[in-house]
Amino acid sequence: MSVPVAILDYGMGNLGSVANMIRHVGGQAELVAEPDALESCQKIILPGVGQFGEGMRRLREGDWIAALTTARERGAWILGICLGMQLLTQSSEESECDGLGWFNFQAKRILDHTDSGERRRVPHMGWNLAEFRGEANGALADPGRYYFVHSYCVANVDDPRSWAITEYEGLRFSSAIRDERVMGVQFHPEKSHRYGKALVRHFMELADRA
Residue 190 is among the residues annotated as catalytic for this protein = yes
Residue 82 is among the residues annotated as catalytic for this protein = yes
Q: How far apart are CA 183 and CA 85, in angstroms?
A: 8
Check 41, 82, 124, 202 and give the catalytic one.
82
User: What string of DSSP letters covers the chain?
Assistant: -PPPEEEE-SSSS-HHHHHHHHHHTT--EEEE-SGGGGGG-SEEEE---S-HHHHHHHHHHTTHHHHHHHHHHTT-EEEEETHHHHTTEEEETT-SSB---SEEEEEEEPPSB-TTS-B--SSEEEEEEEEE-GGGGGTS-SSEEEEEEESEEE--TTSTTEEEEEEETTEEEEEEEEETTEEEESSBGGGSHHHHHHHHHHHHHHHHH-
Check 124, 150, 153, 188 and give the catalytic one.
188
Check 94, 124, 190, 202 and give the catalytic one.
190
Residue 188 is among the residues annotated as catalytic for this protein = yes
C-beta separation of 155 from 202 below 8 A: no
* Active site positions, annotated: 82, 188, 190
